Structures are given as C-alpha cells and as structure tokens.
C-alpha cells in the first residue's frame, strides 16, 4: 500500500469511527438500555449479514430496527409474519393488463433495503422459502421475472421465545443464512427508569419521539464504503486458526479433547467460520481497531454459532442449552 493509499485509508477509518460513535449515541437517545443489541446490529450491518433477534415482547426490538434504518437513510419495510401469509405477500405478484394482454410485476415489500420480518417463525414453509432466496441470492422471483435487490438489502427478523402456538420452526438452511442470532434481555433498573423520561412515553410513534430536525447520519453509499472498510480489517493467521478451531470443535469435539460429543447433534458449517471472521472484523472496526483480536472473536462467537448448532436429547436431559455447550468450547480452545 502506497503512502497516499495509507493516508486515504486512515481518513476513511477515522470517518467511520466518528460516524459509528455518533450512530450509537443517536440510537441510544431513543432506545434506552439495549446498547449490546444496538452494537450487534451495527456489527451485522458492517459485516453485511442478516440478524435474528430473539426476545420477549416489549424490549424495543422493532423500535431499534426502525431507528437504525432512519439514521442510515435506508428504505425500510416491516412485514408482520402470520400463519396465513403467502409468498406473494412478500415478493409481489403479477397483474394482468387487458389493454396490452401482458402481465406487469408489482414488487412486494421485500424489495427494500432494511426489511423487518416481525415474528418470522409464524410464517409457513413457502413464505420462508421465498425469504430464503432473497437472503441468500439477493434477488426474488415473481412469475418469470427476477428482481435484483439493493446492495444494502438487510433482513432483521424477530421471534418470541416463549410463544409456540401458531409458530413454525425455522429450517436449518434458513437459520444458517443469519449472520447472528442475538438474544435480548430485560434492561437494567436504571435504564428502565430512564425510559420514563423519553418523549415516546407520551407520544406513541418513533417519528414523534425522534427530533425531526436531525438528518440521517449516513447515506447508502456510506454504508457500502464502511462494509468494504470492515472487510479490509487485518486478521492475523493465528486468529484465523483460532476461529477455525472453534467452529471445528462443534463438529468434532473429541479431536479437541472435549467430552461434548454426546451433547452435540449437529455442528456448525463452514459458513459459520466465514461469518465469525466477518463479524469479528466488523467488531474490531466498531472498537476503533484495524486488526482483529481474540476478544472480538469471543465477544461474538455465541451470537454467530448458537443458531447453527443442534444439541442432543442428552443435553436437554441434563438441562444444558446451546450457549452452555459453546461456553465450554470457548473455555477449552486455547486463545492465541
């Protein structure tokens, strides 16, 4: 890299850090007590990966996504997934024009930049299949026509962990397309108390609680530039080996001296290895570093891996969760 290229990279790096810091501050002004969620959403944005957010109702999951889309000046659409939802409700449909004798395509709400799939596990398999094409291929098919989605297309899905009536388990192939599965917990007492001072306590909509004179912080082009910057964050060979060992330990724990084989039904795929590296690079950029550390990897390992691993009935019988198994792996694999 030449000296001019180095200066340009340093300037972009500083611009990204200042912008991301301002983004978190703005989001925290309307979403109180959920900073870990906000940071992980931004990491996923920088890594260009979709996110599955799981938490009980009332934890500001939808509000956080709306606020993020507005701050980035990205087109936003929300779809409430229900058992009677049809693929055409997502992707769009063909409309016959008698005057021309032809069919015109009317794109559905999936043709956007930020798609909030609310209660995603309430939709049947055909709808999930249509969403899977959009998530994996960056395109949808309506009749005979293929529609390419924007480069900034990004799915943030939510699901309720305690309600099972009228829900459909997400297929493993679709779960694997989510970069991270983030678990949202209740806010701390101080944060919950601070919520009572938000304008939204009196005003119900985000538009009313967000100052109208605050312009978006980024443009869609900025988002793409910051993604390229995150992808260029340096990753040492030892860090890459560490990531590979973590993922491979979920598939072959005996090879790593872990007595976890009876507890794991299915380990993580190589897609998880790639996802963890991408997420770690984005986390490093958010932390104002141009290199990845083991802390970046360990901070996101459970979010990246928990939905890609299937534990056995024996683990269930012992009262162990996927996170319990991952913690054992993280504690055992040597940190470089």
Taking a C-beta distance cutoff of 8 angstroms, is the pair 234, 284 a contact? no
Q: Parallel, antiparallel, or unpaired for β 92-97 and 102-107?
A: antiparallel
Domain edges within the chain = 3-227, 234-332
Q: What pLDDT, in 10s, does the model give residues 159-184? A: 887 656 667 778 888 888 899 999 98
Q: Given pLDDT bands bounded at 50, 70 and 90, which one contains residue 69?
A: confident
Nearest partner of 256 among 324, 328, 176, judged by Cα: 328
Q: Is the dihedral angle over the CA atoms 175, 58, 44, 325 positive or is it negative?
A: negative
Give the CA diameter of the chain: 71
CATH topology of domain 3-227: Rossmann fold (3.40.50)
Q: Count Cβ atoms below 10 Å from residue 232 Cβ, excluding itself.
A: 14
Q: What pLDDT, in 10s, does the model give residues 206-216? A: 444 455 557 78
Query: 327 φ, ψ to 5°?
Result: -60, -40
- Tokens at residue 71, please? 């701050």
**Whole-Å CA distances, 262 to 7, 272, 312, 314, 317:** 53, 21, 7, 7, 11
CATH topology of domain 234-332: Helicase, Ruva Protein; domain 3 (1.10.8)
- Tokens at residue 139, please? 């395109």
Q: Parallel, antiparallel, or unpaired for β 139-142 and 145-148?
A: antiparallel
Q: What pLDDT, in 10s, does the model give residues 257-313? A: 888 889 898 899 999 999 999 999 999 999 989 899 999 999 999 999 999 999 889
Query: Using CA atoms, how far apart are residues 84 and 81, in angstroms rounded to an integer?
Result: 8
Considering the entire predicted model, what is its pTM? 0.87
Q: What pLDDT, in 10s, does the model give residues 116-147? A: 998 888 888 888 888 888 888 888 888 778 88
Query: In sequence order, what are the residues at sequence separation of 6 or more whose Cβ sits closer than 8 angstroms to the Cβ of residue 101?
Result: none
Strand locations in 209-284 (E): 264-266
Q: Considering the chain, what percentage of its residues have pLDDT values greater than 90? A: 30
Taking a C-beta distance cutoff of 8 angstroms, is the pair 298, 331 a contact? no
């Amino acid at each position: 890299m030449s000296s001019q290229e180095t200066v340009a990279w340093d300037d972009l790096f500083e611009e990204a850090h200042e912008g991301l810091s301002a983004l978190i501050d703005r989001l925290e002004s309307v979403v109180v007590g959920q900073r870990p969620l906000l940071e992980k959403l931004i990491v996923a944005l920088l890594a260009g990966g979709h996110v599955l957010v799981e938490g009980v109702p009332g934890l500001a999951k939808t509000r956080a996504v709306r606020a993020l889309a507005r701050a980035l000046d990205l087109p936003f659409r929300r779809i409430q997934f229900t058992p009677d939802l049809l693929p055409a409700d997502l992707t769009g449909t063909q409309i016959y024009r008698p005057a021309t004798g032809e069919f015109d395509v009317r794109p559905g709400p999936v043709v956007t930049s930020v798609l909030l799939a609310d209660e995603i596990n309430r939709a049947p398999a055909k709808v999930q299949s249509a969403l899977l094409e959009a998530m994996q291929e960056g395109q949808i098919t309506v009749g005979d026509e293929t529609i390419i989605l924007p480069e900034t297309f990004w799915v943030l899905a939510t699901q309720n962990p305690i309600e099972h009536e009228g829900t459909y388990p997400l297929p493993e192939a679709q779960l694997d397309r989510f970069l991270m599965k983030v678990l949202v917990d209740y806010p701390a007492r101080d944060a919950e108390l601070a919520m009572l001072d938000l304008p939204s306590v009196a005003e119900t909509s985000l538009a009313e609680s967000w100052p109208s004179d605050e312009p978006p912080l980024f443009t869609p082009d900025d988002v793409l530039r910051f993604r390229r910057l995150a992808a260029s964050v340096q990753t040492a060979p030892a860090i890459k080996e560490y990531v590979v060992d973590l993922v491979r330990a979920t598939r072959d724990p005996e090879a790593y001296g872990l007595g976890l084989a009876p507890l794991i039904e299915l380990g993580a795929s190589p897609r998880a290895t790639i996802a963890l590296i991408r997420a770690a690079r984005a986390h490093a950029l958010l932390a104002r570093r141009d290199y990845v550390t083991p802390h970046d990897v360990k901070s996101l390992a459970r979010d990246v891996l928990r939905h890609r691993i299937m534990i056995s009935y024996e683990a269930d019988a012992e009262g162990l969760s996927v996170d319990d198994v991952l913690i054992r792996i993280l504690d055992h694999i040597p940190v470089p």
